[in-house]
Chains A and B, each alone.
Chain A
Amino acid sequence: MKANKQKIDEAAQEYGVSLWNDAWRRLIRNKMAVISMIILGIMVFACAGASYVTTHAYDEIHYDAIKTSPSMTYIFGTDDLGRDMFARVLYGGQVSLKIAILCTFITLLIGISYGATAAYFGGQIDNYMMRFVDIMYSLPYMFLVIILMVVFGKNINLLFMAIGAVSWLTMARIVRGQILSLKAKEFIEAARSYGASNLRIIFLHLIPNTLGTVAVYTTVTIPRVILVESFLSFLGLGVQPPDPSWGSLCSDGAKAIESASWLIIFPGLALSVTLFCMNFLGDGLRDALDPKMK
């Protein structure tokens, strides 16, 4: 009995270790994923080091260069106050990428463990935990944001909090659904009958099997939160003018689509290239993490 338990644990552990090693190897073999990683890397470095990449300031107003189309001086053109769009896109990326990374982190951390716990224990615990999710879904988000601003003042960390607070909900429900189905499977029964601890079962047996779905849904969440940021900034929380973000650049630019298309094209391009890369990377990860994929 004891020997058996140990065996299963060892197998699971080994499986876990080799899973990550194999996954990495498989990921490296995926061309699209590697290219995506490189582009993302360049994007992150360009945005983080924006002050080294461009000599223009993102907030300098040029009254003589209002809405000029892309040229040698302003390679992405200028906006309605004559500010350099290239600099604005780079600086805007700082906030938006931060949000993308942070929300991915929160979504993964809270969403997965919350959903998994609820599903695994089931019954009343599941019921209470999911009702809490229902409550979070239903509360009037705008008031929440307004109150946050009044109580804590305006700062960028608050923005992250406001976005993080709701980004994990659907992830939790999806993970819960997967695990409800998984936990009835034979290999879980087996692990349980040999007395594996709950934590071990959840984190070693159940969650790895949901990672495919998780990877896909994560890539879906990212564009959403980047746009939520622009909505919150619009309400006054978060990024304050003249500071840019991709979300707000896009929503401002979308209005000028007829008269100054470069105002939407460049931030839009930056956003979608990032998303494409994240998606291909996500797909690559999904394939790489899939234990049945050879």
Chain B
Amino acid sequence: MNIVQVLKSSRIFILFCLSVALTFSACGKNGNQNNTQEDEGMVFRFLNEQDPATLDVNKATGVYENRILNIMFEGLTRYGNEGVAAELGNAERHETSEDGKVHTFFLRKDAKWSDGSAVTAHDYVASYRRILNPTTGAQYAQMLYCIAGAAEVNQSKPDKMKLELEKLGVKALDDYTLEFTLKYPVPYFFELTTHYTFFPIPRKVVEKHGDSWTSKKNIISNGAFVLKERVLGDKLVFEKNPHYWQKDAIKLDKVIAYTTKDHETQYRMFQSNAVDWLCSPVSKSVYPKVKDNSEWLAAPYLGTFFFSFNTKKAPFNDPRVRRALSLAIDREVIAKTITDAGELPAYSYVPKGTAMGSGKYTPTYEFSKNYKENIKEAKKLLAEAGFPGGKGFPVFNILYNINDQNKRICLVASNMWDRHLGIKGKLENNEWKTYLDKLKNVNYDIARRGWIGDYNDAYTFMELWMSSNGNNHTHWGNADYDDKINKSNYESDLKNRLVLFQSAEEILLEESPIIPIYFYVADQMVKPYVRGFYPRIQNGDHGKADIAGGKFNVTDNHPFNYIWIDQEAKKKYMQGN
């Protein structure tokens, strides 16, 4: 067979194919090539991990939206510099009435929307009326429920809403004065207003375009940056807002938020210097080297990982059984070998460092750290409950959602229960919505869960276990507990409030409808040339000095107003790599 001839003729064919392929890919070029840094000024690139589901401040719900909206918008208050929880933003002054129920904010007269028009108190009122309006479809309106009449408006039938709106406790006293009347004194209200649900909307734009006011051609904002580009699944690009009242203090010219979802890809982008900040690095147990990298840092975060019980189902209706299972978990091992990013083992429920007024929450009750003693007690409790050595204990399900780390924690927990108590658990993996469905219907035995605080106050954790709370999902309820939490709402004395919370937490841990496992950390990777970012890496110390000095925000907020890039250091860094 004459192969040579065939090969010869095919060579031409291959060349043809190659040229076609190259031409085609050249055509696909969108001209958006990587320009040199000098052309664009100071650019900060970070990984937001996901697309914001919406840019509508009234409809947003999650952490990905939070980061983006804080770039574009500014509320009455904002996340402060050096990890300060809250400082005045759009408002220049704030007053609280004697009883703590009336809050008055005085707006800056120089605050402008990005089209040059003034930001007025009416924009705020419009925003609150819109978010509470039942026909808007806002999912996070609950954040405003501490305002008098807010829940009533939000939960009314659309036709009765007008009536309720009259009673809503938000009023524009004049163009620049906004008054809130609260249901009860809320000691953390000032900080609460940093949340995006309290942001204003450009009411004229919203009136004109309706729900499509957030499209790229319509949207205007009042924050430090304005939206320039929004490519779903790729990135959002922001430029400095020329009308921002503090524009001279803003050092960044451009912010790029990539919406890369895959953690390994994010890590590779960071390694190849395509981004300056990585919000959620790869799993530390898979990439243990990440922790040695001086660019990696991990600060405590406002969240608890825990298991919860279906307390109606035998044998978990017996507090002794629940307590036994809780005691049999070696939290130290889980935090050290499984999660492995510096998480703190949770011997109590409310995360360390949660704010209580000006102070911090401290538990008065903690599980013992002596694991051997704990096991002994657990065995004893289980025997008392009628299952000596685990005999006769039914096989139970451990519900979790698709996630590698969750899987491993569940495996380890079931191993510990099996090894020490002689009881067997079966893992039940579910995709997210099925998991939620089972959780909500309390259709499980034990479930892995987590709770991230909505705001920095212990109340966000404590209210979860009230029997009326929609997120309880355990059937557990305790009148004493409910009573204490309800009382705390009307307690203006911060010390008494703390005592109420502490004693409520004691009840919770005593009855153990949940098994706290660890407190989350917010770990991230930041390039060393990034400035104005807290906690900050200095001399490769993983930001430890800042964390020890409290210079981080436990809610993991990093205001872009203060971030900048040391171009000299960056140049050096790039050459070094």
| Co-complex (A, B) | yes
Interface check B17, CB cutoff 8 A: no
* B333: A residues at CB distance < 8 A: 63
**A113-121, A164-172, A236-244, A269-277: which lies at the interface:** A236-244
Contacts A63-B333, A80-B408, A242-B411 given; indicate if A236 touches B286 (C-beta within 8 A): no
Contacting residue for B429 out of A61, A66, A241, A259, CB 8 A: A241
Which among B283, B287, B412, B429 is the interface contact of A81 at CB below 8 angstroms? B412
Indicate if the CB atoms of B287 and A236 lie closer than 8 Å.
no
Is A236 in contact with B264, judged by CB distance below 8 angstroms? no
Instruction: Please determine whether A258 and B289 come into contact, CB atoms closer than 8 angstroms.
Output: yes
Give A234 to B337 CA distance when docked, in angstroms.
22
Which chain B residues lie closer than 8 Å to A234 at the CB level?
402
Count contacts between A and B, CB distance < 8 Å.
50
Given the interface pairs A146-B434, A150-B434, A241-B429, the reply to whether A259 lies near B411 with Cβ below 8 Å is: no
B285 contacts the other chain (CB 8 A):
yes
Closest to A243 in B: B427
Contact in complex: A255, B286 (CB < 8 Å): yes
Chain B residues near A241 (CB, 8 Å)? 407, 410-411, 427, 429
Query: Quick one: which of B337, B402, B427, B431 contacts A242, CB cutoff 8 A?
Result: B427
B408 touches A240 (CB 8 A): no
Does B506 touch A at the CB level, under 8 Å?
A: no
A61 to B420, CA, bound (A): 13
Q: How far is the CA of A80 from the CA of B405 in the complex (A)?
A: 11
**Once bound together, how far apart are the Cα atoms of A162 and B99, in whole Å?**
63
Q: Is B288 an interface residue (CB 8 A)?
A: yes
Please indicate which of the listed interface residues B287, B289, B428, B431 has the most CB atoms of chain A within 10 Å of its own CB.
B431
Per-position binary interface string of chain A over residues 146-160, scored 1 when its CB falls under 8 Å from any chain B CB and 0 otherwise: 100110001000000
* A149/B264 in contact, CB under 8 A: no
Q: Does any Cβ of A come within 8 Å of B415's Cβ?
A: yes
Tell me the A50-90 residues at the B interface (CB within 8 Å).
Answer: 61, 63, 66, 80-81
Q: How far is the CB of A72 from chain B (nearest CB, A)?
A: 23
**Would A259 and B427 count as touching, CB distance under 8 A?**
no
Contact B430 A236 (CB under 8 A): yes
> What chain A residues lie within 8 Å of B264 (beta carbons)?
255
Is A252 an interface residue when CB atoms closer than 8 A count as contact? yes
Does A235 belong to the interface (CB within 8 Å)? yes
Complex CA distance for A80 and B431, rounded to whole angstroms: 23
Contact indicator A66/B287 (Cβ below 8 Å): no
**With contact pairs A63-B337, A150-B434 given, residues A259 and B407 touching in the complex (Cβ less than 8 Å):** no
| A149 engages B434 (CB within 8 Å) | yes
Known A-B contacts: A235-B402, A241-B429. Give 20 more (CB < 8 A): A61-B412, A80-B408, A81-B408, A146-B434, A150-B434, A154-B428, A235-B429, A235-B431, A236-B402, A236-B428, A236-B430, A241-B407, A241-B427, A242-B427, A255-B283, A255-B286, A256-B286, A258-B289, A259-B287, A259-B288
A→B interface (CB under 8 Å) = 61, 63, 66, 80-81, 146, 149-150, 154, 234-236, 240-242, 252, 255-256, 258-259
B contact set with A: CB distance below 8 Å? 264, 283, 285-289, 333, 337, 402, 404, 407-408, 410-412, 415, 426-431, 434
10 nearest A-B residue pairs (beta carbon) = A236-B429, A61-B415, A236-B430, A256-B286, A255-B286, A241-B427, A235-B431, A241-B407, A80-B285, A259-B288
